[in-house]
């Protein structure tokens, strides 16, 4: 043990504030180190000077002055009503206020988090449940084909349109454009790549729109 | 054996007084004040240094005690609660008045050595004692507020480290560090005040 950092230990040692193990190690060091021994003696002396202050006490007139002031003030104060005391003991259960309030806040936070995550889980599950039949119907539906041109061979059937959708939104054929279903909206100009107008199939699902872009030959 | 029985009797008596005082019994509260006023005023005086401030602090402590007595759990010891409140009130008061100026030199007429005076004492010894005490309080006044409070509670009030930690709402390790630092500083200050005679 060297003297570095021993000052604080010696300051504790002189008043018996060191644990047994540290005390024994320090005592063995003090036997061989005069510098640390002098520090310990100096600390003992200054501490003993302060012990003198323990003997002092305030006098009776000061005490009486405080007592009178307190009792005069207390006479003007209303004590807490009985129900406040009962409720306080019930709610705080002998805990310190800040601990009790912190506990309540923590419990509220945890239960709020649990409630939120549960509500979100239920909501997502519900959405997934309501989406699934359409997806299944779309995938398993039989192929439907609307021919733009009765002469040309039928294109490969789109696989995403179901029969029910077709019935719900039947394709109307305009007299001006007999090869194109009339229910279809005007096609964006940038997509008009051939002479044959493209076709747009509308289903009952607003998220599903099918465009068919035939070549000049009608393929 | 009989001492512990007396202690128990006193505790149960105090519990009754506290319960009565919490429900507004002024006579019961007066009994509590009488029992604890010396402790509270002395501690306040040691923490604040000036008797006038200490009286204000003690008054505030007892008024808060009356106001918040319904919060106190009578199953727990009363004195640590009161000491903690005293420390807090003195801290607030000290901050408010920026008390750390000049000292703490308690006047002989306001500090209670008058009560312990032996008429046969040598006036010269009295004077020397008074000078020494003033010097010690000046030394105390040079400490940072937290170290000073820990030092006063542990080394002047004679509380244990655990009691000091409870009063300061701190850990024992922190209190040990504060009192260790305070003792070393006090020693240097006292040496300097004595003119480096050591």
- Catalogue all structural domains in chain B, each as residue range(s) with its CATH number: 1-99 (1.10.1740.10)
Q: Is the same domain home to A129 and A184?
A: no
* Average pLDDT rounded to a whole number, residues A98-108: 83
Nearest-angstrom CA–CA distance, A43 and A14: 7
CB contacts of A26 in chain B (<8 Å) are none
Determine the distance from the C-alpha atom of residue A218 to the mean position of all C-alpha atoms in its chain, rounded to a whole number: 57
Q: What percent of chain B has pLDDT over 90?
A: 35
Is residue A81 included in any domain, yes or no? no
pLDDT of residue A138: 47
Are A24 and A46 in a shared domain?
yes
Given an 8 Å threshold on Cβ–Cβ distance, is B115 in contact with A67? no
Q: Is residue A73 part of a domain?
A: no
Q: Is residue A192 part of a domain?
A: yes
In angstroms, what CA-CA distances link A59 with A158, B38, B45, B113? 105, 9, 12, 8
Structural domain includes residue A72: no
Residues A12-25, buried b or exposed e (16+ Cβ, 10 A)? Answer: bbbbebbeeeeeee
Query: Taking the complete model, does pTM exceed 0.80, yes or no?
Result: no
Torsion of CA B155, B157, B160, B164, to 10 degrees: -100
- Structure token pair of residue A45: 């002396």
Question: Is position A62 within any domain?
Answer: no
Indicate whether A162 and A127 sit together in one domain. no
Tell me if B179 sits within 8 A of B150, measured CB to CB. yes
User: Do residue A180 and residue A214 come from a single domain?
Assistant: yes
| pLDDT computed for residue A135 by the predictor | 47
Run of H or E including B45: helix B26-48
Instruction: Quote the pLDDT of residue B36.
Output: 92
| Test mutation, B150, B183, B188, B192, chain A, max A CBs within 10 A | B183
My answer on whether A208 and A156 are in the same domain is yes
Alpha-carbon separation of residue B175 from A26, B92, B180 (angstroms): 20, 20, 8
Query: What residue numbers bound the domain in which A33 lies?
Result: 7-54
- Determine the average pLDDT of the residues in A82-88: 65
Structure confidence at residue B177 (pLDDT)? 94
A163 assigned to some structural domain? yes
What the block records as the tokens of A194 is: 């051939």
Q: Do the Cβ atoms of B181 and A11 come within 8 Å?
A: yes
Q: Which residues does chain B have within 8 Å of residue A80's beta carbon, measured at their own beta carbons?
A: 22, 24, 67, 70
**pLDDT(B41) > 60:** yes
Q: Report the number of distinct structural domains present in chain A.
A: 3
- Residue A75 domain flag: no
- Show the CA angle centred on residue B126, arms to residues B125 and B130, nearest 5°: 115
Residue located via tokens 């808060």 = B64
Q: Which of B106, B34, B70 is nearest to A89 (CA)?
A: B70
Min Cα distance A85 → chain B (Å) is 6
Domain membership of residue A65 (yes or no) is: no
Residues A103 and A46 in one domain: no
């Amino acid at each position: 043990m060297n003297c570095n950092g021993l000052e604080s230990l010696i300051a504790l040692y002189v008043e018996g504030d060191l644990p047994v193990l540290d005390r024994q190690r320090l005592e063995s060091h003090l036997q061989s180190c005069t510098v640390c021994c002098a520090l310990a003696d100096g600390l003992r002396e200054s501490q003993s000077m302060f012990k003198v202050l323990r003997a002092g006490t305030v006098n009776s007139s000061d005490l009486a002055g405080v007592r009178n002031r307190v009792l005069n003030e207390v006479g003007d104060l209303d004590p807490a009503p009985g129900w406040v005391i009962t409720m306080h003991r019930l709610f705080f259960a002998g805990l310190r206020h800040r601990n009790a309030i912190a506990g309540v806040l923590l419990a509220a936070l945890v239960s709020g988090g649990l409630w939120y995550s549960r509500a979100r889980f239920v909501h997502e599950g519900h959405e997934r449940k309501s989406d699934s039949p359409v997806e299944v119907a779309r995938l398993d539906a039989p192929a439907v084909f609307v021919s733009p041109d009765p002469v040309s061979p039928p294109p490969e059937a789109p696989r995403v349109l179901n029969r029910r959708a077709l019935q719900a939104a039947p394709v109307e054929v305009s007299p001006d454009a007999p090869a194109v279903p009339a229910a279809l909206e005007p096609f964006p100009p940038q997509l008009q790549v051939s002479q044959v107008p493209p076709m747009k199939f509308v289903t009952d699902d607003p998220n599903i729109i099918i465009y068919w872009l035939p070549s000049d030959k009608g393929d | 054996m009989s001492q512990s029985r007396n202690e128990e009797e006193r505790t149960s008596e105090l519990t009754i007084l506290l319960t009565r005082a919490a429900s507004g019994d002024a006579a019961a509260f007066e009994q509590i004040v009488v029992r604890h006023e010396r402790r509270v005023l002395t501690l306040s005086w040691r923490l604040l240094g000036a008797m006038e401030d200490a009286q204000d602090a003690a008054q505030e402590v007892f008024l808060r005690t009356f106001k918040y007595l319904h919060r106190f759990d009578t199953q727990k010891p009363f004195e640590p609660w009161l000491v903690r409140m005293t420390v807090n009130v003195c801290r607030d008061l000290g901050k408010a008045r920026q008390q750390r100026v000049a000292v703490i030199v308690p006047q002989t007429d306001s500090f209670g050595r008058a009560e312990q005076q032996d008429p046969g004492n040598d006036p010269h010894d009295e004077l020397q004692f008074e000078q020494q005490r003033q010097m010690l309080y000046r030394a105390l006044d040079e400490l940072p507020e937290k170290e000073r409070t820990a030092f006063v509670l542990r080394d002047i009030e004679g509380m244990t480290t655990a009691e000091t930690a409870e009063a300061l709402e701190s850990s024992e390790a922190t209190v040990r560090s504060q009192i260790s630092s305070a003792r070393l500083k006090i020693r240097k200050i006292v040496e300097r005040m004595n003119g480096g005679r050591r």
